[in-house]
Amino acid sequence: MTSVDPLYQYERADIRDRIAATYGDLLDQTRRNGDTFVWDVIRSVDELGAVRQAAMQDFLDDYDAGRADGRYVNAALPVLPFEDDQFDLALCSHLLFLYGDQLDETFHLAALNDMGRVAREVRVFPLLALSGAPSPHVDRCVEALRGARFDVTLEKVPYEFQRGGDHMMRIRRPGTDGARDTRGMHDVRDNGTMT
């Protein structure tokens, strides 16, 4: 796997400090908005904090080696520094659509097209704005991508943490059968990940 994030311009200690500085605020925001989440797999804000801290520690433990191996790439959408068809699958988790107020439709389309350039299949999750409302960019992006002859589907997934956030967008280029078998693959990072 190759993970892409502009955060990777920083050293491990800098990232650790940023995580520590924002951790309390994120949990407080989650507590204030607790009714907008589904508390079945993760049962409480404290459990969410523990799960996220464990994931962040796993990431930090791997960061220096992963950066040296080229698995953590300092880059950002909408333009990726990869060759055409370099990946079977591109995942974008909790960036596109979620930040639709900050990232306009032009950005979304450019990002989706470039992910479609570097990977045979693209999956984006969730399809909601931060407010929990359906993102206004989804329908227009689907229409534009289909107009560019991509096969685009919106599919229900068996995971819902943000209430109503149980759908993903799947994009395939014409003439491809999508990614190879990805059963059991989970991406827990909040960034774009290529596999």
Domain boundary among 73, 102, 118: 73
Residue 14 belongs to a domain: yes
Q: How many domains does the chain have?
A: 2
> Nearest CA to 168 among 130, 138, 124, 134?
124
Q: Give me the pLDDT at residue 190, please.
A: 37
pLDDT at 186 over 50: no
CA torsion angle 132 118 77 141 (round to 10): -40
Task: Tell me: do 119 and 187 sit in the same domain.
Answer: yes
Q: Give me the pLDDT at residue 175, please.
A: 73
Residue 133 belongs to a domain: yes
Q: Residue 153, exposed/middle/buried by CB under 10 A (0-12, 13-18, 19+)?
A: exposed
Task: Tell me: do 68 and 154 sit in the same domain.
Answer: no
The tens digit of pLDDT for each residue in 42-100 reads 999 999 999 999 999 999 999 999 999 999 999 999 999 999 999 999 999 999 999 99
pTM score, whole prediction: 0.87
Task: Tell me: do 57 and 18 sit in the same domain.
Answer: yes
Helix (H, G, I), strand (E, B) or coil at 102: coil
Give the Cα separation of 122 and 139 in Å (integer).
16
Mean pLDDT over the full length of the chain: 91
Q: Give me the pLDDT at residue 195, please.
A: 41
Residue 50 belongs to a domain: yes
Residue 80 belongs to a domain: no
The tens digit of pLDDT for each residue in 21-30 reads 999 999 999 9
Task: Tell me: do 101 and 24 sit in the same domain.
Answer: no
- Pairing mode of beta strands 87-93, 119-125: parallel
Residue 81 belongs to a domain: no
Task: Tell me: do 29 and 96 sit in the same domain.
Answer: no
pLDDT at 194 over 60: no
Give the domain range for residue 116.
Answer: 87-194
Residue 144 belongs to a domain: yes
Task: Tell me: do 53 and 103 sit in the same domain.
Answer: no
